[in-house]
Amino acid sequence: MHPNSVRLLSAIAVVVGLFMAFSAGALAQSDPLSSWNDGAVKASITGFVARVTEDGGPDFVAPERRIAVFDNDGTLWSEQPIYFQFQFALDRIKAVAPEHPEWKDTEPYKSALAGDVQGLMAAGEKGLVEILEVTHAGMTTDEFSKTVADWLETARHPRFDRPYDQLVYQPQLELLAYLRANGFKTFIVSGGGVEFMRVFAERAYGIPPEQVVGSSGVVKFEMGADGKPVLIKEPKVEFVDDGPGKPVGINRFIGRRPIFAFGNSDGDQQMLEWTAAGDGARFMGIVHHTDAAREWAYDRQSHIGKLDKALDEGMARGWTIVDMKADWKVVYPPAP
Amino acid sequence: MHPNSVRLLSAIAVVVGLFMAFSAGALAQSDPLSSWNDGAVKASITGFVARVTEDGGPDFVAPERRIAVFDNDGTLWSEQPIYFQFQFALDRIKAVAPEHPEWKDTEPYKSALAGDVQGLMAAGEKGLVEILEVTHAGMTTDEFSKTVADWLETARHPRFDRPYDQLVYQPQLELLAYLRANGFKTFIVSGGGVEFMRVFAERAYGIPPEQVVGSSGVVKFEMGADGKPVLIKEPKVEFVDDGPGKPVGINRFIGRRPIFAFGNSDGDQQMLEWTAAGDGARFMGIVHHTDAAREWAYDRQSHIGKLDKALDEGMARGWTIVDMKADWKVVYPPAP
């Protein structure tokens, strides 16, 4: 080779080498889990991901089997002072109340319109179900999605004065992205309504509708008068994706056992057990709400997101318990 | 720049150019739908895909909205002389008959054991449901998957003497791959049992379990005596993913309206209508079984895969009707 060519190639090699060194440095500096404080919890996550993605390693898991499931309420976004979907239902009651003057004197509507949660609780489960049915049925699936989208646009959380879908956990957003970057397919498996969550899951979490598993009501196909078919939401519960329903929902919708599961309450216990019972490397995580200043602190005695038996089992079996106050640098993303 | 450097760069450019020209030639020669004969049907597929993937074009569809759904029986694999899943059930009856000596004298088992399909039909729907329940319930989900996998290993189709999961349509395998290469996410939406199909869908079609929608029975979570949870299949139908159930299943499992749907029978009519009723470019396809020599010829009068109303609607509305005999160069892939 001519000396000038050699010199040119050498120059190229130097430039390429410098570029690679710079990239490696940039990579080392950008921590994909930068909102997680260093410690045992963070290390349990990164250690697990390193093990199952190490080609040829003893714990390697093929990408198509890297199924990760997350509860939603209290695991990916907040659930206090009441489940956000229930707040949506109360707001809908108010919005359509002018069409129902009789509600002013009838429970559970009277309490709902007064924002009287204690009165609602007194109306019992039957009253709560009625609120959900009235606000979640008797319309097409498209119409329902639109009411949810409109609500997310306009409603504000009473404590933080932010849209509800901004009260998602920044560390969990990083974890979802980190898992996907490592070949995982991320799913929501939540007691919340599947059609409610699908409105914002893709935008908020990067999780597409077909990877959202949740509770659902009966839906009926009908041919419209204009020759266009519609799907009508009926006032009848079809499936409750909570507690023992979560492994059932996973089996029904995903058809594969997860290797990674994250929850925050006793309603997630069976999902965590089902994940733990598979062969090979497994990750089971629980968000423990310990941060009254930045979010909320609650567990064994809470009416919402009660964490009692699952906490005992998680501690006994060495699952990863996130101490929100200690493990998370920030809770919510900065306002956009 | 030194003349020698210029010469070196020119040489590199020539080599790169040759390589690119060669690649383009190779690409032009390898037709991704090579088992489809040229004509209006094939052009309707490639034309649709070209339109929805043309960045900036009037019919462009973002990749996350490129949802394609396929019926299974008669659309992706054969369904004659009886649905393959029903043959699986009959074979299971024979396999476990030694544990049930009373079956020899009791319908519908007597006919099932004799392979007497006419006798079975005489036993009516109740008898058929009993056969399905006995063979599809009373075991864990893992145990059921194993019986299906074993059956696929050992059973042979009576006419073609091949494993059932080799009787898939080569042109459709190419279509699935072609759609995926163009950013589509491919789903099965079938009246068949979801847990039956998931055993082979990934291997046979490249469709992972979480993209299979089908009929299902009730499944129950139970903690095993060894402290390991199991999912038990119960003898109770939960969801029938057929006819009007198909758009319901699409809404439940996928949560997005498809832009591309392929079926072959009246059981697919509502799925095709639901797909057609969306905004923007749409593709609706029907496999018409017209090839008694290579596969089967049946439509309006058939007990299996009856195609009557959907054929009328498809012709009236200009959907793509595949004439198997004319449009497909081959039906099945070569034996491996």
Q: Give me the pLDDT at residue B11, please.
A: 58
Which residue bears the tokens 């090579």? Answer: B34
Cα(B254)–Cα(B217) distance, integer angstroms: 19
Residues of chain A found within 8 Å of residue B247, distances taken between Cβ atoms: 221, 229, 231
Q: Give me the pLDDT at residue B6, please.
A: 54
Q: Which residue in chain A has the smallest CA separation from B218?
A: A248
Residues of chain B found within 8 Å of residue A8, distances taken between Cβ atoms: 5, 8
Q: Residue A164: which residues within 8 A CB-CB, separation 6 or more?
A: A77, A84, A87, A152, A155, A157
Summarised one tens digit per residue, pLDDT across range A109-168 is 999 999 888 888 887 888 888 999 999 999 999 999 999 999 999 999 999 999 999 999
Summarised one tens digit per residue, pLDDT across range B2-54 is 556 556 555 555 555 555 544 544 445 699 999 999 999 999 999 999 999 99
Say whether A219 and B252 touch across the interface (CB within 8 A): yes
Under a CB-based contact definition with an 8 Å cutoff, are residues A258 and A266 in contact?
Answer: no
Say whether B248 and A220 touch across the interface (CB within 8 A): yes
One-letter amino acid at B116 equals: D
- Residue A47 distance to chain B (closest CA, Å): 25
Q: Inform me whether the C-beta atom of residue A30 falls under 8 Å from chain B C-beta atoms.
A: no
Q: Which residue in chain B has the smallest CA separation from A207?
A: B64
- Residue A254 distance to chain B (closest CA, Å): 4
A-B contacts at Cβ under 8 angstroms: 99
Q: β-pairing, B297-298 with B283-290?
A: antiparallel
Summarised one tens digit per residue, pLDDT across range B60-103 is 999 999 999 999 999 999 999 999 999 999 999 999 999 999 99
Q: Which residue in chain A has the smallest CA separation from B199?
A: A255
Residues of chain B found within 8 Å of residue A5, distances taken between Cβ atoms: 4-5, 8
Nearest to A270 among B141, B228, B229 (CB): B229
Residue to substitute from A67, A143, A210, interface B, most B β-carbons within 10 A: A210
Nearest to A210 among B194, B245, B256 (CB): B256
Residue to substitute from A231, A257, A272, interface B, most B β-carbons within 10 A: A231
Say whether A255 and B212 touch across the interface (CB within 8 A): yes
Q: Which of residues 183-242 of B touch A (CB under 8 A)?
A: 185, 187, 194-195, 198, 202, 208-212, 216, 219-221, 223, 228-229, 231
Say whether A229 and B274 touch across the interface (CB within 8 A): yes
Residues of chain B found within 8 Å of residue A220, distances taken between Cβ atoms: 244, 248
Q: Inform me whether the C-beta atom of residue A141 falls under 8 Å from chain B C-beta atoms.
A: yes
Residues of chain A scoring pLDDT < 70: 1-29
Domains and CATH numbers, chain A: 32-81+166-327 (3.40.50.1000), 82-157 (no CATH)
Residues of chain B scoring pLDDT < 50: 1, 21-22, 24-27
Q: Give me the pLDDT at residue A25, please.
A: 46
Q: Give me the pLDDT at residue B336, please.
A: 85
Q: Give me the pLDDT at residue B25, please.
A: 47
Give the alpha-carbon dihedral of A181, A184, A190, A195, to 10 degrees. 70
Nearest to A219 among B67, B229, B248 (CB): B248
Which residue bears the tokens 């005489």? Answer: B122
Q: Inform me whether the C-beta atom of residue A270 falls under 8 Å from chain B C-beta atoms.
A: yes
Chain Cα centroid distance, residue B297: 19
Tell me the HSE value of A133 on the side-chain side, using a 13 A CA sphere.
13
Cα(A306)–Cα(B255) distance, integer angstroms: 30
Residue B313: its H or E element:
helix B309-317
Q: Inform me whether the C-beta atom of residue B10 falls under 8 Å from chain A C-beta atoms.
A: no
Q: Which residue in chain B has the smallest CA separation from A194?
A: B252
Burial environment of residue B331 by CB neighbours within 10 A (0 to 12, 13 to 18, 19 or more): buried
Token readout for B43 is 């052009």
Cα(B138)–Cα(A199) distance, integer angstroms: 38
Burial environment of residue A70 by CB neighbours within 10 A (0 to 12, 13 to 18, 19 or more): buried
**Which of these, B301, B327, B295, B280, lies nearest to B311 by C-alpha position?**
B301
